[in-house]
Chain A
Amino acid sequence: MTAIRTAGLGKVYEGGTLALAGLGLEVPAGTVYGLLGPNGAGKSTVTRILNGTLSPSSGRAEVLGSRPESEETRRRTSTVTETARMYEALTLLENLRFYARMHDVPEAGLGERIDALLRRLELEPKRDEPLGNLSTGMKKRAQLARALLHDPELLFLDEPTSGLDPASAREVVALIRELVRERGVTVLLCTHDLALADTVCDAYGFIDRGALRASGTRAELQEASGIPDRLRVATTSGELSLPVPPEGDCNALLGELMASGRRVVELRVERPSLERLYFHFIRKDD
């Protein structure tokens, strides 16, 4: 099943700025899809069109089988962005209660639901504190708690770990994985953080200047790039990066290395890194 499907999606802002130029995207349900691209590539515009806040200038989009701008879509999805904040003068609990009500979460069981989320995100001791008193990392986790209040089927996450310390970032990654594994949630993750994307995403889309340059799993992207695997050989006199021998037969290579007096410590096939693939596609048309 496809959670997000767009075809020829275009967006020109007032003033003529072209943000999207015919973007086609397919995100399977129950996966984490990383939308990766430089600043100004159009990632936020895509998110805002898909969550129904902006309307496209051309093309079409479908989110969970509905039009993005429908109330239904907003009810079944959730968005966390770097720029969106909650109410700093209100306590964490007041904030969560307010957003739960905006999302029509039933009053019965709401308290327990909030408690469980606060426990899961280690925010329980801060529940009665004004949000303005919380650290950046706590505010980010509070945003995640807010986003999960209504059990969304699809999460739009824009830089969910920026500003977080490594421990909190790891906690967020674990939470994303748990949501996908246990609840079948689909995640559209927009980020610059290739290491984060590499850790958590099942598939990737490289976006630049409003167009999708490549999309797919790591293996699909590698195939499309034509970048071959490399053989990483650690020897007593240093590391070597060599082409993988035909049909993966390393015996001859090992023989040559041993004959040259080097001892092979480790031998492994290395796939091109996500970063390598990213720069391959993003720079391709420059």
Chain B
Amino acid sequence: MNYRKVVWLVRKDLREALGNKFVVLPMLVLPLVLCVAIPALLVYLGLELGAIASSGAQSLERLLPLYDIPGRLVDPVERMLYVFLNYTMMPFFIIIPIMLSGVIAANSVAGEKERKSLETLLYTPLTNREFVLGKLLSSFVPSMTVSLVSFLAYFAVTNGAWYALRGSFVLEAVSWIPALLVLSPAASLMALGATLLVGIKAKTFLEAQQSSALVVLPCIVFVAAQLGGLVVISPLAILAAGVAVLALDYALIMRVAPRFDRERLISTI
């Protein structure tokens, strides 16, 4: 395995991806809306304008014992916001890398087919393993980078706004670690593996990209469950889920990698 070649392939894919508006737009808009605009607005409206009616918050109060809320928060609106910002928002940081890695992976395999450049790449001495690793990394690295940067922005904006209005912080970084560092990369790899698997046969970027949407579905269930208070997923449970998804990723990638042979790829161009 020539790792320098893998790095060149990743750099080339990134350079190409950043020139494609269908890739760049979701990379910018998705995190900005989900991780900065919505939480900032909620904190401001909830704490400053009282727009979130206390009655609404009180009606949700019956769900709140399920969550581990610091005793210093007594106001129903503050308690509800704490739950929303610490629990409900968490799945978004799993959805973002899933969606982004799906988009970028679709661009880097099916997109290359569509643009007819894959054939030229297959004529180089790049080995199948270098090809697969390069394509995995060129989607995984940017999607996780955007996800982590989004979290830092979310953390700064939300805690900053809360601090400005209440003189304390609302987000606790430690409880986010299993989601950010284990479940989120694991889910991202899952979307990536699925998109690459479909990308072997898909002829177009859009065809391949649609497959990653399927991986988002369980996350939407996760969001809905969190919102409805059906389940309260503790950091430990998230860690366990992350490890389980990683095991599935391993199985998926072991299945995808051997399928990346030149013949299979070129026969679908």
Contact = CB atoms under 8 A, between A and B. Distances in A.
Please indicate whether A and B come from the same complex rather than being unrelated chains. Answer: yes
A89 B122 CA distance: 19
A40 B12 CA distance: 34
* Top 5 A-B pairs, shortest CB-CB distance: A102-B124, A84-B119, A85-B116, A74-B125, A89-B19
Contacts of B16: 87, 89-90
Nearest to A107: B4
Contact of B2 (A48, A89, A104): A104
Interface of B: 2, 4-5, 8-9, 12, 15-16, 19-20, 115-117, 119-127, 262-263, 266-267, 269
A146 B120 contact: yes
A182 interface: no
Contact of A75 (B5, B120, B125): B125
14 contacts: A53-B122, A54-B266, A83-B269, A84-B117, A84-B119, A85-B116, A86-B117, A86-B120, A87-B117, A90-B15, A99-B120, A101-B4, A101-B8, A143-B120
A55 to B, nearest CB: 6
Interface string A9-20: 000011000000
Contacts, number: 75
A83 B5 contact: no
Contacts of B117: 84-88
* Of B8, B121, B124, most A-chain CB atoms within 10 Å: B124
How many chain A residues sit at the interface, stated as a range, is 20 to 34
Contacts of A52: 262
A143 B117 CA distance: 11
B249 to A, nearest CB: 27
A103 B119 CA distance: 15
Interface string A64-106: 0000000100110011010111111110001000110111100
Nearest to A101: B8
A14 B269 CA distance: 14
A98 B5 CA distance: 9
Interface in A200-237: none
Contact of B123 (A51, A71, A89): A51
